[in-house]
Structures are given as structure tokens and as C-alpha cells.
Structure 1
Amino acid sequence: MSDDSGLWLLALGPAGATALYWALYRYYRNTDKSHAFERETAVEAQPVTGSDGKVDEIKGTRASRISGENGGAYRMRVQRTPTDDG
């Protein structure tokens, strides 16, 4: 037996790892099946349409308080739930 008989086993490790990596890459990336948007899709540019008409204008706050607020009445906001311990 020669000394080179075990070298193929050592070379099989990196070669197998490379083949596994390439197979997983191809499986998950699907590079041969993916849609190449930039090459396969034609987008026709059209002129911009619309208007710049003014709709509304708000200057400052119209009301300093919210109607129906209950910020100070915390007992009305928070209600206890009944418990079984009496």
C-alpha cells in the first residue's frame, strides 16, 4: 500500500463541503428560476399628472382642550374588576 491511499479521503472533505454548499445555494436561491425584473419587464414612462391645489389650512390649535376629556377623573376611567377573595 502506498502513502497516497488516504489522500483521496482528505480531499473528499473539502470537495464534499463545496458540493453541499453549492447545492444548498442553488436550492434556496433558485438563481436559474428567478425573475429578472430589470431585463424582462418593460416600464413605459408617462408624464406626471395631478394638481397642486390648496385643500385646507390649519394655523395653531383651534381648541386648547379635547371635549369630553376625563384626564382628571381617574376614578371614572379606571374601574376595579370584582375578585373572588371577598
Structure 2
Amino acid sequence: MSDDGGLALLLLGPAGGAGLYWMLYRYYRNTDKSHAFERETVVDAKPVTGSERDRKIDEIKGTRESRIDGDNLREYRKRVQRIRDDGS
């Protein structure tokens, strides 16, 4: 008779593990409580308005300089330094 109790206890472990996994999966996934945002949410867009503080102060058309002063684009040995091993 003790073999039946041992077998039930042995089967309770995997069954309990599977039950706990399913419960945590359902709790964190919330697949039954989620909604489709694109279909169920209405967003009303309104025109953009500004205030008196938002006024234009300058306008740049095109590129004034083709390079940035002080760039090291072609001097790759200055950009990439080799890691030196001092032997210590």
C-alpha cells in the first residue's frame, strides 16, 4: 500500500511544476486581458500651435562648409590607438 502513496507523491512534483508554470505564464502574459491598441484606442490629432516665445531666429539653407574644422577623418592612426602590452 505504501507504493501507491509514493507513486502519487512522485507524480505530484511534475504536475505541480507544470501547474505553477502555467499559472505564472497566464499571470504575466495576460493574453486574455490584453487589447488591440490600434483598433480600440482613439487618438484625436490637433493642429500644432505655438506661442510668442516660439519665433524664428535664423535659417540655414544648404551646407556652408564641406568639412568640420579639426576633424581627423583621414588620420585613422590618430583615431585608433593600439593597445600596448608593457610586459608586466
Given the two structures, how large is their TM-score scaled by the length of structure 1? 0.45
For the pair shown, the structure with the greater C-alpha radius of gyration is 1
